[in-house]
Structure 1
């Protein structure tokens, strides 16, 4: 152990690392030594979805994960750097004599790599990622302000999708204030009926017709207009509001689909796909909630598809298997969304009760013109078929992409080439006929 980690009176009892009080003292001492001539950087590291590990495996497993991550962080640092535990699932790093922000970026990238490696616990492998905020000193910098700014940047990284790092600047503070306002508005949006479900058709590539829809959330903000989910889903996930919001989306989507199914009978029932967030998957009541919604709305259970990203599944794959099996036992189907962008283990993938893989639109975008994207999309479709799963392509925007997907044998697709997402009122009582009128997407 280096001098930077020498025994001090203020220690975290779990990891033995300096705690926040000791860390702030060290940052202050470093700023005093530099006297404004040498920059220092503070990093705040927050583990993503750590609560899911605690809830699924217990606090003892969570403590073991924290101890392992602490050791990996020590390996990633220079002898002159200081590692501390802020509390909960957060760590602090002090980097002295930083030439510019690039060094802090390099360190954040190394930390991200160290943390993303699987951790073996008694109950099996666990995968975690980290969101990292970086603040560097300037004229008049103080230790508390640096820690606060790095923490603000860390939360900005979480809001922008997690598993990334952000450098604090003036816009970060403005964004934090805006997030507070957005968070307050989010809490009221459900009560005021400001959320809306939009529907994007899913196309059967063999017969060319609409086979179902994906439900997509939109926020009709009274002042900002229609707000895309990328601007508020991260905050909803962080605050836990995604759980009631997600339940509302599922119920609205199922209720509308049930109406369409009744109107179109005896035609095969349209399917409906709805995304589940990491927080929803971690909720112990999720299977019961889904069963209630399916029962109350009258939708055909066999027509309901629940989509989960592969990173969400791999946070705690063992617990995810149990939850997904309970859901599948109710007659609903499971698909892995954004496939190819995460770090799923094939050994777990073949055990998961999933029936479809959705090829991420970043790979579909380069089909036929970018060799790497084409190879990755081909691999995703081939893997789906090798595992006996259905392949669904996202983000199809051109006839050339469509032709490539048909050549690969991809069964289903969605994207702007077929139709943009629309509210149910635009699609009418018979959406297949409506879409057929718009763009020739009716059933053949």
Structure 2
């Protein structure tokens, strides 16, 4: 074939191959009717183009599928990063983003947001009594209930532990208060866990957004209000006020000062006599710690003991009280003719009861100071042993075997029942002062106290009544057969020097009088 008569199909083939190389996979050449070798090549090129097109389509589908999977995985990861794994609520990161967005909308003319911070009351007792699985189920139910009281535009978050938050964009004080009240209502209803019934009440702090605030500012203020609510009582709603910040700063300062006070000479011990009601003989003393602050004066334990527990120094405080009070007892036994049954009663925290070296520490102190074990009574609250944990039970049993007395303090305010106490290695029960407050004003209260005393006796335990403030109360308890008690009617807690002066002069108290003969007024 001459150049002038060159077959045009060859040019078409070259052009088609070039298009295929460029990715134009839909390119095709129509074969001629000649059905010769050129047409055979054209057919081959068309088949190749068709196969390439099919392969590319499959590749595109795979790429689209993989892209969709990656996009979904990214969304899932983002959702996980912004949500709480246990409850499915928003987490702290998501809450902070929500607050920033709501504050931004407020800066552009919308109503400011409100933030509610909730902390469950006594949730630790749920974990301790029923286990962490039950605690997790309670948290999940709390999350569901909180979701049920908010608007669609609101955000419910779990910040960790038993702390929750509700963000209300564009909310008034009335709306925020209404949501807080509804939250308390739904959380006040019992939660049923199989055969168990649990109540998860909460303390709530409310902060209404203000111009110029940051997300951190709003969260800190709501947290401050929430702690103010917890200090005031359970199931309380407190709306933030600027004065609360001062109180929080003061508390933070006091926490820092308390750490140093334990290792310095700022802590002092007072001793309140425990008497035999039939004779007013001094059976022993209860040790009470005070903080002699260089600027604020004498700070009572109700103020700094919870703070010591909160900041983690209660262990050091317990050890200081134990060692110093036992040294004082050793001095008294050396200087005065104390009765053989005279006992020092020392309060012990739940934290200290869990220390593996507690028994060795007590044994070493008693041995070093040449004190008999029966001269020491350790007082523990009901809540400290309600779980009957292995370490706690080991400590109690070992102390009992050592000869140390074990007394349940504040009986009547916690969870214990008489049948429960019979299973514990305790020998004494101190009945809380609250049962005596209405002894002569509330109908049936005297009979109620008598019944409690009989139950304690039936369990083989000794009852000690605290908070005796009048002669009438002492006479009534004596008539009921109560063996011992303590309270302002007999003596206020005394500094070490005054307690020493008392023990040096008598074994019997002049009820209703101080050591100088002056009348002792009731605490209230």
TM range (shorter): 0.7 to 0.9
Q: 1:45 aligns with which of 114, 119, 128?
A: 119
1:51-81 CA distance string (max 9 Å, x none): 9969x99xxx64x354223123135425244
- Where do residues 315-354 of structure 1 align in structure 2 (5 Å cutoff)? 315=387, 319-344=391-416, 348-354=420-426
Q: 1:86 aligns with which of 131, 136, 159?
A: 159
TM-score normalised per structure 1: 0.82
Q: Which residue of 2 aligns with 1:68?
A: 137
Residues in 2 aligned to 1:271 and 1:375: alpha-carbon distance in whole angstroms:
30
Which shows bigger deviation, 277-286 or 32-41?
32-41
TM-score normalised per structure 2: 0.70
Residues in 2 aligned to 1:118 and 1:242: alpha-carbon distance in whole angstroms:
33
- For these two proteins, the number of residue pairs brought into alignment is 425
Higher CA-based Rg: 2
Partner SS, residue 244 of structure 2:
helix
Would the aligned equivalents of 1:128 and 1:315 in 2 still touch at CA under 8 Å?
no
Distance verdict in 2 for CA 1:128–1:315, change over 3 Å? farther
Q: 1:256 aligns with which of 328, 349, 361?
A: 328
Partner SS, residue 428 of structure 1:
helix
Q: Which residue of 1 aligns with 2:384?
A: 312
Would the aligned equivalents of 1:397 and 1:416 in 2 still touch at CA under 8 Å?
yes
Q: Which residue of 1 aligns with 2:287?
A: 215
Would the aligned equivalents of 2:138 and 2:200 in 1 still touch at CA under 8 Å?
no
The runs of 5 or more residues in structure 2 that have no matched partner are 1-78, 515-524
Q: Which residue of 2 aligns with 1:4?
A: none
| CA shift for structure 1 position 371 | 2.7
Q: Which residue of 1 aligns with 2:255?
A: 183
Would the aligned equivalents of 1:306 and 1:332 in 2 still touch at CA under 8 Å?
yes
Residues in 1 aligned to 2:167 and 2:409: alpha-carbon distance in whole angstroms:
38
Q: Which residue of 1 aligns with 2:266?
A: 194
Kindly indicate which of the two structures has a greater share of residues assigned to strand.
1
Residues in 1 aligned to 2:200 and 2:364: alpha-carbon distance in whole angstroms:
33
Q: Which residue of 2 aligns with 1:279?
A: 351
Q: Cα RMSD (Å) of the superposition?
A: 3.7
Residues in 2 aligned to 1:433 and 1:398: alpha-carbon distance in whole angstroms:
24
- Is 1:104–2:180 an aligned residue pair? yes
Residues in 2 aligned to 1:191 and 1:268: alpha-carbon distance in whole angstroms:
33
Residues in 1 aligned to 2:94 and 2:383: alpha-carbon distance in whole angstroms:
35
Q: Which residue of 1 aligns with 2:224?
A: 152
1:165-185 CA distance string (max 9 Å, x none): 562433321111011111111
Partner SS, residue 386 of structure 2:
helix
| CA shift for structure 1 position 39 | 6.6
1:360-410 CA distance string (max 9 Å, x none): 111111112123654553343233122111111111111121122223322
Would the aligned equivalents of 2:224 and 2:245 in 1 still touch at CA under 8 Å?
yes
The runs of 5 or more residues in structure 1 that have no matched partner are 1-6
Would the aligned equivalents of 1:263 and 1:430 in 2 still touch at CA under 8 Å?
no
Residues in 1 aligned to 2:198 and 2:322: alpha-carbon distance in whole angstroms:
27
Would the aligned equivalents of 1:242 and 1:279 in 2 still touch at CA under 8 Å?
yes
- Where do residues 133-144 of structure 1 align in structure 2 (5 Å cutoff)? 133-140=204-211, 143-144=215-216
| CA shift for structure 1 position 32 | 6.9
Residues in 2 aligned to 1:246 and 1:258: alpha-carbon distance in whole angstroms:
18
Q: Which residue of 1 aligns with 2:32?
A: none
1:134-179 CA distance string (max 9 Å, x none): 1232543654333222333444566x49866562433321111011
Would the aligned equivalents of 1:435 and 1:441 in 2 still touch at CA under 8 Å?
no
| CA shift for structure 1 position 289 | 2.1
| CA shift for structure 1 position 310 | 1.1
Q: Which residue of 2 aligns with 1:3?
A: none
Residues in 2 aligned to 1:303 and 1:372: alpha-carbon distance in whole angstroms:
37
Residues in 2 aligned to 1:259 and 1:137: alpha-carbon distance in whole angstroms:
59
